[in-house]
Structure 1
Amino acid sequence: MSALRTQSARVILKAGKDKPVKSFHPWVFSGAISEVDDFHQAGDLVRVCASDQSFLGIGYLNPQSQIAVRMLTFIDEPIDDAFWVRRLKAALLLRQNFISSSTNAYRWVNAEGDGLPGLMIDRYGDYAVVQFQTLGIEKCRDQILNALSNCVQVKGVYERNDLTTREREGMEKRKGVLRGEEPPDCLTIQENGIAFDVDLKTGQKTGFFLDQRENRALVGAIAKGKQVLNCFAYSGGFSVYAAKGGAHAVTSVEISEKAADWCRVNFEKQGLSRLCQHEVIVQDAFDYLRESKQPFDFIILDPPAFCKHKNQIQEAAKGYKDINLHAFKRLNPNGLLFTSSCSSFITADLFQKIVFGAAKDAKREVQIIKATHHAIDHPISIYHPEGEYLKSLLCRVI
């Protein structure tokens, strides 16, 4: 994308609608736009200006999207090859400063959290998995891939652009190799010195739930001697940490047979069956909690997003309350519940209210021991609270 194009196309905001951008919020909604000058194609770079025509920043415009402009910078600079190299290097340095050498799988670029709306890059050892979530980022693809290669040498770059958000941007879903080698069907990664087998090509998200890394470590630190139930177990991350932490027994409930197989593989990979009894149950977690009468000392709830749109909040809240209600009923006295929501529309405040309602209806006295969020490699811009999607509570039944 040429710097010349950024100098010519302009988006002029309506009077009184420029406050979010002046406060460094990275989104401009379509209703805030007064006019567009010299615009060529959806996804092109534009200069964003206030109603008095003063410069506010540079972003990319997609008139088809409700979020019409996503801001890349709030200073007047060219969006050239050097820009992408600077941003990717800065993001990589942050991870290198905070992530242990015993971990080789992490989020390298977290979209708005790293000042690059629409771009996700996850690093899995010698492979990078990229997601171009928006048309503007898609149009900068070659520059981004070149910048990636400038920062690190990987065996391959794989795209997981199988996202519904792309359809809303007028793009097709797509998966495949972009640079170098195709990743193997089963890739072994290291997280806090623990080996996990992951599937980068067909696994959920980009292969592993990297955002729960620190929460898995928390579970492992407090699981000793406990009967643990891991619902929505996927490939067994929480189950493995619980067993490594000395759990007496772990039950993993997962509705997908394929994911359940990964869960078994990852548990056996550590040789944990000699130390901890492990049962994998292929069943819907809601049904299991309603039907099972077995009590547990520690229950983990890490469900998929129940709410992907604002109009689903009420229904999602019912789902979260139901699953937490039945979990509270299954806990022994002094039992622990670690419960998460990855729905961005469910705020931390609302989630706590939902868990409060579940505890009340279950007639259990409950303490909140700790509130957590996503891992350190998922930074959030202080100007973009919408980026805080994962919230979790560690609760104790008294």
Structure 2
Amino acid sequence: MEYPALYLKRGEDARLRAGHLWVYSNEVDVARSPLTAFEPGEACAIVDHRGKPVGIGYVNPNSLIAARLVSRGVEHALDRSLIVHRLNVALALRERLYAEPYYRLVFGESDGLPGLVLDRFGDVVVGQIATAGMERLKDEITAAVVKVLKPRQLWWKNDASIRTMEHLPEYADLGHGEYGGETIAREGGLEFAIDPVSGQKTGWFYDQRENRDLLARFVDGKRVLDMFSYLGAWGLRAAAAGASEVVCVDASAAAVESIARNAERNGLADRVTAVRADAFDHLKALREAREQYDVVILDPPAFIKRKKDFTEGRLAYRRLNELGMQVLARDGLLVTCSCSHHMPRAALLEAVQQGVRHLDRQAQMLIALQQAPDHPVHPAIAETDYLKGYVLRVLPA
């Protein structure tokens, strides 16, 4: 099948040939291939200024990222067959990593399907589409998922704010299967009931799974404070690993109710308390009440969503970590994370260190944290390496 050509300016193919998958609008030779000639999400052949094909991708003339490369060369059509192949390749990795079918199955560009995320919860799959190109392929993606996985349900959770940048509507609906039945995330021997429609993102955050695995060695017999708890993944894992008391804090009433239900479900209700509160306000109140915890976990949402927000966001990370350390017992452990792509690892550690010195304490960095391997990093695309964190021991000066 032949696709219309999207011509690049001279030299603008170098980044693509080095492994990247994005074409920015100012890299397109609009004299030869006007962006306005393409429909949002239309498949195209991306070619260099000499007319030599780079590969097959899709276009969105309304977006700063004007095109995304899906397949190198022009031998393979952008169709259901290609998607089935990419799903099978992605599945092979996850089945090597995990004994049970609970994981991120597709992580966008890193799995060769830019703009698509699929999370698997046993016989339920929850998908998110972020680009017009993948939206046009939604029926083919659905058919491919059904062929490869045969799920009971496939939910589309297409309500992420990034869709507005692609001029796409926000919605959530059932793409395959029938309504009814629970959706469960299994992790660390525990079960968490999730909501694939009303929950955050796809309903669960698999990217922190391996980091939560590391927690077990530090929490036996300890008091643990889990801030920004969502469904209680960190806190309940800590309780299951032997923590004597766990307090989970989240600003959402629905999340707090879910934490309580999940604690009951896993037989941990006697050691887990769920509190609805703003994280910063609650930490200040705990400080004033002279409450202290052996382990404090800070896993906030992204404070820096755009590059221009860096200065303000970095200050927020510093304030949060400083407050967290003020409720740490002597020789306590701080687990701090950032999912902001625009917050470099070194900047997060520097923000913690600034807080440490302001409190006249000292810290030892024990473990550097990163996203789980079912969220593989694409070496040529820095944006895929977004999660960072540290386990630190905080001592008196």
Shorter-chain TM band: over 0.9
Q: Does 1:223 align with 2:211?
A: no
**Match of 1:96?**
95
Distance 1:55 1:223 in 2: 55
SS at match of 2:333: strand
Once the two structures are TM-superposed, the CA of residue 327 in structure 1 deviates from its matched residue by: 1.0
SS at match of 2:215: helix
Q: Does 1:47 align with 2:33?
A: no
Q: Return the match for 1:69 from 67, 70, 84.
A: 67
Note the 1:317-336 alignment, pairs <5 A: 317-336=314-333
Q: Return the match for 1:174 from 153, 171, 175.
A: 171
SS at match of 1:34: coil
Q: Return the match for 1:205 from 187, 201, 214.
A: 201
Distance 1:317 1:248 in 2: 33
Distance 1:69 1:362 in 2: 48
Q: Return the match for 1:13 from 8, 13, 36.
A: 8
Note the 1:82-161 alignment, pairs <5 A: 82-101=81-100, 104-161=101-158
Distance 1:183 1:343, change over 3 A: farther
Distance 2:44 2:183 in 1: 40
Q: Return the match for 2:242 from 242, 246, 252.
A: 246
Do the aligned residues in 1 keep the contact of 2:17 with 2:54 (CA within 8 Å)? yes
Do the aligned residues in 1 keep the contact of 2:336 with 2:391 (CA within 8 Å)? yes
Do the aligned residues in 2 keep the contact of 1:183 with 1:200 (CA within 8 Å)? no
**Alignment deviations for residues 348-378 of structure 1 (CA, whole Å, 9 cap, x no partner):** 2222222222222222200110111111211
Distance 1:336 1:20, change over 3 A: same
**Match of 2:284?**
290
Distance 2:22 2:359 in 1: 41
Distance 1:220 1:199 in 2: 27
Distance 1:58 1:353 in 2: 42
Structure 1 residue ranges without an equivalent (≥5): none
Aligned residues, how many?
A: 388
**Alignment deviations for residues 157-189 of structure 1 (CA, whole Å, 9 cap, x no partner):** 1110011111111111011111112354x4333
The one-letter amino acid of 1:80's match is D
Distance 2:42 2:16 in 1: 19
Note the 1:299-318 alignment, pairs <5 A: 299-318=296-315
**Match of 1:340?**
337
Distance 1:257 1:209, change over 3 A: same
SS at match of 1:299: strand
Distance 2:350 2:112 in 1: 31
Structure 2 residue ranges without an equivalent (≥5): none
Same amino acid, percent of matched pairs: 34
Do the aligned residues in 2 keep the contact of 1:189 with 1:197 (CA within 8 Å)? yes
The one-letter amino acid of 2:104's match is R
Distance 1:106 1:343 in 2: 21
Distance 1:330 1:319 in 2: 17
**Alignment deviations for residues 299-348 of structure 1 (CA, whole Å, 9 cap, x no partner):** 00011111211121111111111000111122122210111111111122
The one-letter amino acid of 1:192's match is G
Distance 1:341 1:71 in 2: 28
Q: Does 1:232 align with 2:228?
A: yes
SS at match of 1:211: helix
Distance 2:355 2:51 in 1: 52
Distance 1:132 1:295 in 2: 43
Distance 1:69 1:153 in 2: 31
Distance 1:106 1:358 in 2: 35
Once the two structures are TM-superposed, the CA of residue 68 in structure 1 deviates from its matched residue by: 0.7
**Match of 1:382?**
379
The one-letter amino acid of 2:325's match is F
Distance 2:293 2:357 in 1: 19
Do the aligned residues in 1 keep the contact of 2:188 with 2:237 (CA within 8 Å)? no
Once the two structures are TM-superposed, the CA of residue 51 in structure 1 deviates from its matched residue by: 2.1
SS at match of 1:345: coil
TM-score (norm 1): 0.94
Do the aligned residues in 1 keep the contact of 2:185 with 2:204 (CA within 8 Å)? no
Distance 1:100 1:355 in 2: 36
